[in-house]
């Protein structure tokens, strides 16, 4: 047994390694990125020949994971919450095929949208797919749950969803690890047609999934991750989900809470505990980080039962992540602010790094578009989304991975030309290629800027699937060769670049401009590494 | 792990503040390692992702002899704001306990167009009775290592952390070990400079 200081993400990664995974798949996305990074940097994974590395997107990651599970091996696939939207087709259907080798889908939600475009709650997806969900409340639980998750995945032949949030993902604490389990041997599913979802098979598999709900529920009722903690004051019962339990505890420094508590860290919701607390208490308060899922279920549409308090009745805010203060307020225990923030303190939003190549691309793009009315630039998810801010104000949309190209196409099809897309290299291979194919097939009049900084920059510089392939991909998708340009976005090239931009923006058809320059952060890291290697060489 | 008697009922909640890229996590690492060495519990909520580049960043570092519940520090309960940038130190004052310490660098990181007058910033900092405001970069430069500014600030915070200074020094040696003995010594020297300033402040406060 070892004790390590781990981020929640790292505890999950180490837990998966110790649970005997043979592979891990992921696409980078805050707050889930550090899971794969840990596995990539771990000596364990190299010694055990665990497959790791970045996939082109979350769907390809999910499907590869399902394939490894098909072959009988344990596998982890991790992503951020909106990534599960991309992987949803494979994810929902994996509940029908079931798992062979243990399959754990780790999704990191982002309540309060620290680094995301929404705060959707992945527990909905788990319910939608009708599979067991685990929601750890601490780094230690996150580690322990990985081992358990793989066990029940194999016990029931079902993928298991683990849901964490930014806070747990990015907070560090001591974690005790256990002996690692051996990896599985290759072994195909005992039922050969299990993974052939023709309607005839799918109907059978779906009925099995429905029958298994009772097993999942009984597993959840008997799970040590769910508990009923009695209290003397029955005027209120408190139900906590995942990390919300910690905020409740924080409000009672001596840890003596007068009210009965049900701590839920595993779903389906444990009926036995809920029934017990409902019968014992006058009213209930539900504390959950994310959407009011448990609260809404307990409340019911007609609200005929006891009073259920939470996010829906205003006891807690309807949106945003929970904090000790917010939970305290719902319990009438205020943590008072000692002083206001002085008025002179100004906001300091994130910004593009000094010398970032995107800066020069946006300067030239703004100048190239000066002759047209505004509102023509459809952008995407990445560092370059910061181009929406001052001083650039260069982009007009940011919706989901790949939407820059397809939205520009739709606007152009509507007659709003010129329409411009701005997308990063990694986002392009994640979800931009198919949209570009649509535009080529329709001869839509759009100009696509693929900002190639040779990395997935916003999440900290992970390897991009696009590197070295972009022009070839565009050409193969049917973009005319003479309308594909690779440029170096530097201030000294401003005028020349702007001329090319102008020309292509005026062109009635699909053109692609690739401003190519390595991310300034990756350059700095590379130079540092090269220097270190040189020093080592000298020493040797 | 044996817990030293000195750490009975120990609880230090720290908000580390700065601007993305200023390296507040290196300070957190040093404190965190020392806390573990002392046999204490720690929880440290970090910031990763989009907010890194040039934006305001903070980390909640909690240390206690008892198990810690929340990763986030409750409002008004924080024992120390430890900031590598003056305006950023003020962003978190609602979190600071009335007897908490504000320890900050005074050298502004000015990457916004509406950065306030530094005189006003310093005035606000000094309005908090328990404050130590130092030009850590200047002090680090004087000992020949501008990159050790963060350790000057850590030194200035050291008397109020509730962790033995020797453990903090040991931890600095551990964190910078891979960079060689020279770097370790520069950082230890920087730490000592900060520590002296804090000690002087304590003596002066007692006299006045």
* Residues from chain B contacting residue A109 (CB–CB below 8 Å): none
CB distance A33 to A460 below 8 Å: yes
Strands (E), A390-452: 419-424, 446-451
Q: Which helix (H) or strand (E) segment is B137 a member of?
A: helix B136-142
Q: Which residue of B has its CA nearest to A28?
A: B49
Q: Which residue of B has its CA nearest to A4?
A: B36
In this prediction, residue A482 carries a pLDDT of 98
Residue-wise pLDDT for A263-280, tens only, equals: 999 999 999 999 999 999
The half-sphere exposure of A146 on its side-chain side, counting CA atoms within 13 A, is 33
Going across the sheet that includes A308-309, the strands are: A227-229, A261-264, A236-241, A283-287, A308-309
Indicate yes or no: CB of B90 within 8 angstroms of CB of A337: no
What does the block give as tokens for A490?
A: 């530097």
Residue-wise pLDDT for A137-149, tens only, equals: 999 999 999 999 9
Residue-wise pLDDT for A103-133, tens only, equals: 999 999 999 999 999 999 999 999 999 999 9
Mean pLDDT value across chain B: 92
Distance between CA atoms of residues B167 and B176, nearest Å: 14
Q: What 3-state class would DSSP assign to A222? A: coil
Instruction: For residue A175, count other CB atoms closer than 10 A to its CB.
Output: 23
Indicate yes or no: CB of A342 within 8 angstroms of CB of B93: yes
* Residues from chain B contacting residue A340 (CB–CB below 8 Å): 93-94
What does the block give as tokens for A285?
A: 């308060």
CA dist list (Å): B203 to A62, A423, B136, B181, B206 = 62, 59, 20, 33, 5
Kindly report the CA angle at A479 between A476 and A483, in degrees rounded to 5? Answer: 130
Residue tagged 């792990």 (tokens):
B1
Indicate yes or no: CB of A323 within 8 angstroms of CB of B19: no
Q: Does B192 touch chain A (CB under 8 A)?
A: no
pLDDT at A459 > cutoff 70: yes
Distance between CA atoms of residues A275 and A302, nearest Å: 18
pLDDT at B145 > cutoff 90: no
* Residues from chain B contacting residue A351 (CB–CB below 8 Å): 53-55, 111
pLDDT at A406 > cutoff 70: yes
Indicate yes or no: CB of A344 within 8 angstroms of CB of B87: yes
For residue A283, name the pLDDT band (cuts at 50, 70, 90).
very high
Residue tagged 């002759």 (tokens):
A371
- Nearest Cα to B74, choosing from B100, B35, B105? B100
Of B32, B70, B76, the CB nearest to A250: B70
Rounded to an integer, the average pLDDT of A446-470 is 95
Strand-strand pairing, A171-177 and A2-7:
antiparallel
- 3-state class percentages of chain A: helix first, strand second, coil last, to nearest 5: 45, 15, 40
Distance between CA atoms of residues B193 and A494, nearest Å: 48
Q: Which of A149-158, B38-47, B96-105 has the lowest mean pLDDT?
A: B38-47
CA of A116 vs chain B CAs: smallest distance (Å): 9
Instruction: For residue A207, count other CB atoms closer than 10 A to its CB.
Output: 10
Q: Which residue of A has its CA nearest to B45?
A: A171
What percent of chain B stands above pLDDT 90?
81
What does the block give as tokens for A470?
A: 């972009």
Domains defined along chain B, listed by start: 5-207 (3.40.920.10)
Most B-contacting residue of A37, A113, A172 (CB-CB within 10 A), to test interface: A172
Chain Cα centroid distance, residue B9: 21
Q: Does B143 touch chain A (CB under 8 A)?
A: no
For residue B149, name the pLDDT band (cuts at 50, 70, 90).
very high
CB distance A30 to B49 below 8 Å: yes
* Residues from chain A contacting residue B19 (CB–CB below 8 Å): 348
What does the block give as tokens for A392?
A: 């650039």
Q: Which residue of B has its CA nearest to A172?
A: B44
Q: Which helix (H) or strand (E) segment is A76 a member of?
A: strand A74-80
Residue-wise pLDDT for B189-199, tens only, equals: 999 999 999 99
- Nearest Cα to A147, choosing from A323, A14, A279? A14
For residue B2, name the pLDDT band (cuts at 50, 70, 90).
very low
pLDDT at B1 > cutoff 90: no
Of B53, B54, B116, the CB nearest to A344: B116
Spatial CB neighbours of A344, under 8 Å, sequence gap ≥ 6: B87, B90, B116, B117, B120, B121, B124
Of B41, B50, B87, the CB nearest to A30: B50
* Residues from chain B contacting residue A174 (CB–CB below 8 Å): 36, 41-42
Residue-wise pLDDT for B21-60, tens only, equals: 888 888 999 999 999 999 999 999 987 765 567 889 999 9
In this prediction, residue B51 carries a pLDDT of 52
Q: What 3-state class would DSSP assign to A419? A: strand
Secondary structure, 3-state, A320-367: CCCCHHHHHHHCCCCCCCCCCCCCCCCCCCCCCCCCCHHHHHHHHHHH
Of B32, B49, B55, the CB nearest to A348: B55
What does the block give as tokens for A372?
A: 């047209």
Residue-wise pLDDT for A195-204, tens only, equals: 999 999 999 9
Distance between CA atoms of residues A216 and A222, nearest Å: 10
* Residues from chain B contacting residue A336 (CB–CB below 8 Å): 75-76
Residue tagged 């560090």 (tokens):
A172
Distance between CA atoms of residues A161 and A16, nearest Å: 13
Q: Which residue of A has its CA nearest to B100?
A: A338
* Residues from chain B contacting residue A170 (CB–CB below 8 Å): 45-48
Model confidence pTM above 0.90: yes
CA of A476 vs chain B CAs: smallest distance (Å): 33
Domains defined along chain A, listed by start: 2-221 (3.40.50.970), 227-330 (3.40.50.920), 357-523 (3.40.50.970)
Residue-wise pLDDT for A466-505, tens only, equals: 999 999 999 999 999 999 999 999 999 999 999 999 999 9
Q: What 3-state class would DSSP assign to B175? A: helix
Going across the sheet that includes A446-451, the strands are: A377-378, A419-424, A446-451, A511-515, A484-487
In this prediction, residue B48 carries a pLDDT of 72
Long-range contacts (CB closer than 8 Å, 24 or more residues apart) made by A356-359: A356/A383, A356/A519, A356/A520, A357/A451, A357/A453, A357/A489, A357/A490, A357/A515, A357/A517, A357/A518, A357/A519, A357/A520, A358/A383, A358/A384, A358/A386, A358/A387, A358/A451, A358/A453, A358/A489, A359/A392
Q: Does B152 touch chain A (CB under 8 A)?
A: no
Q: Does B69 touch chain A (CB under 8 A)?
A: yes
Q: What are phi and psi of A456, to 5 degrees?
A: -95, 90
Mean pLDDT value across chain A: 96
In this prediction, residue B4 carries a pLDDT of 59
In this prediction, residue A535 carries a pLDDT of 79
Rounded to an integer, the average pLDDT of A169-181 is 95
Distance between CA atoms of residues B91 and A345, nearest Å: 6
* Residues from chain B contacting residue A344 (CB–CB below 8 Å): 87, 90, 116-117, 120-121, 124
The half-sphere exposure of B127 on its side-chain side, counting CA atoms within 13 A, is 13
* Residues from chain A contacting residue B76 (CB–CB below 8 Å): 335-338
Distance between CA atoms of residues A525 and A40, nearest Å: 17
Indicate yes or no: CB of A243 within 8 angstroms of CB of B71: yes
Sign of the C-alpha dihedral, residues A379, A385, A387, A388?
Answer: positive
CB distance A23 to B41 below 8 Å: no
Distance between CA atoms of residues A34 and A40, nearest Å: 10
In this prediction, residue A259 carries a pLDDT of 98
């Amino acid at each position: 047994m070892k004790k390590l200081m781990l981020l929640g993400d790292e505890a999950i990664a180490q837990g998966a390694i110790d649970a005997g995974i043979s592979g891990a798949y992921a696409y980078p996305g805050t707050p889930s990125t550090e899971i794969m990074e840990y596995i990539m940097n771990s000596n364990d994974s190299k010694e055990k020949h665990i497959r790791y590395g970045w996939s082109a997107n979350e769907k390809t990651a999910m499907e590869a994971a399902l394939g490894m599970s098909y072959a009988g091996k344990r596998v982890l696939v991790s992503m951020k919450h909106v990534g599960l939207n991309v992987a949803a087709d494979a994810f929902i259907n994996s509940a029908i095929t079931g798992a062979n080798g243990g399959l754990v889908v780790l999704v990191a939600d982002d309540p309060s949208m620290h680094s995301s475009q929404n705060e959707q709650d992945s527990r909905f997806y788990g319910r939608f797919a009708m599979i067991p969900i685990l929601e750890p409340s601490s780094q230690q639980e996150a580690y322990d749950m990985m081992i358990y998750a793989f066990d029940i995945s194999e016990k029931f032949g079902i993928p298991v969803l683990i849901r964490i949030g930014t806070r747990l993902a990015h907070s560090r604490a001591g974690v005790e690890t256990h002996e690692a389990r051996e990896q599985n041997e290759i072994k195909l599913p005992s039922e050969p047609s299990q993974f052939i979802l023709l309607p005839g098979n799918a109907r059978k598999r779906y009925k099995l999934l429905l029958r298994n709900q009772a097993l999942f529920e009984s597993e959840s009722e008997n799970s040590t991750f769910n508990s009923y903690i009695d209290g003397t004051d029955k005027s209120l019962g408190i139900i906590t989900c995942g990390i919300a339990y910690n905020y409740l505890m924080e409000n009672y420094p001596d840890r003596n809470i007068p009210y009965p508590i049900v701590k839920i860290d595993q779903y389906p919701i444990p009926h036995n505990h809920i029934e017990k607390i409902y019968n014992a208490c006058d009213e209930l308060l539900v504390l959950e980080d994310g959407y009011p899922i448990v609260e809404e279920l307990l409340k019911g549409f007609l609200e005929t039962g006891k009073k259920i308090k939470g996010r829906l009745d205003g006891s807690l805010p309807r949106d945003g992540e929970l904090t000790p203060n917010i939970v305290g307020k719902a319990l009438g225990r205020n943590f008072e602010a000692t002083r206001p923030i002085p008025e002179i303190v100004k906001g300091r939003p994130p910004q593009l790094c000094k010398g970032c190549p995107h800066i020069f691309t946006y300067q030239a793009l703004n100048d190239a578009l000066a002759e047209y009315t505004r509102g023509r630039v459809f952008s995407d998810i990445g560092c370059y989304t910061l181009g929406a801010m001052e001083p650039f104000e260069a982009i007009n949309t940011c919706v989901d991975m790949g939407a820059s190209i397809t939205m520009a196409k739709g606007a152009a099809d509507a007659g709003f030309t010129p329409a411009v897309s701005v997308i990063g290299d990694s986002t392009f291979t994640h979800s931009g290629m198919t949209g570009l194919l649509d535009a080529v097939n329709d001869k839509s009049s759009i100009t696509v800027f693929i900002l190639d900084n040779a990395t997935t920059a916003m999440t900290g510089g992970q390897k991009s699937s696009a590197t070295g392939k972009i022009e070839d991909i565009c050409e193969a998708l049917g973009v005319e060769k003479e309308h594909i340009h690779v440029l170096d976005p530097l201030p000294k090239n401003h005028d020349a670049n702007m001329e090319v931009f102008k020309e292509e923006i005026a062109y009635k058809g699909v053109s692609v401009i690739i401003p190519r320059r390595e991310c300034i952060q990756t350059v700095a890291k590379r130079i540092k590494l090269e220097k270190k290697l040189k020093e080592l060489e000298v020493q040797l | 792990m044996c817990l030293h008697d000195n750490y009975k009922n120990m609880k230090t909640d720290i908000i580390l503040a700065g601007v993305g890229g200023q390296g507040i996590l290196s300070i957190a690492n040093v404190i965190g390692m020392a806390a573990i060495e002392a046999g204490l519990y720690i929880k440290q909520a970090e910031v990763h992702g989009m907010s890194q580049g040039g934006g305001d960043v903070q980390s909640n570092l909690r240390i206690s002899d008892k198990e810690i519940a929340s990763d986030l520090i409750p409002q008004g309960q924080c024992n120390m704001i430890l900031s590598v940038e003056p305006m950023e130190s003020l962003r978190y004052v609602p979190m600071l306990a009335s007897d908490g310490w504000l320890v900050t660098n005074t050298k502004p990181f000015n990457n916004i167009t509406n950065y306030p007058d530094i005189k006003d910033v310093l005035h606000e900092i000094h309005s908090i009775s328990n404050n130590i405001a130092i030009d850590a970069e200047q002090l680090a430069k004087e000992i020949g290592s501008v990159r050790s500014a963060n350790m000057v600030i850590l030194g200035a915070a050291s008397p109020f952390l509730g962790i033995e200074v020797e453990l903090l020094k040991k931890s600095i040696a551990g964190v910078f070990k891979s960079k060689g003995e020279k770097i370790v010594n520069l950082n230890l020297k920087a730490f000592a400079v900060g520590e002296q300033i804090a000690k002087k402040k304590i003596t002066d406060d007692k006299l006045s």
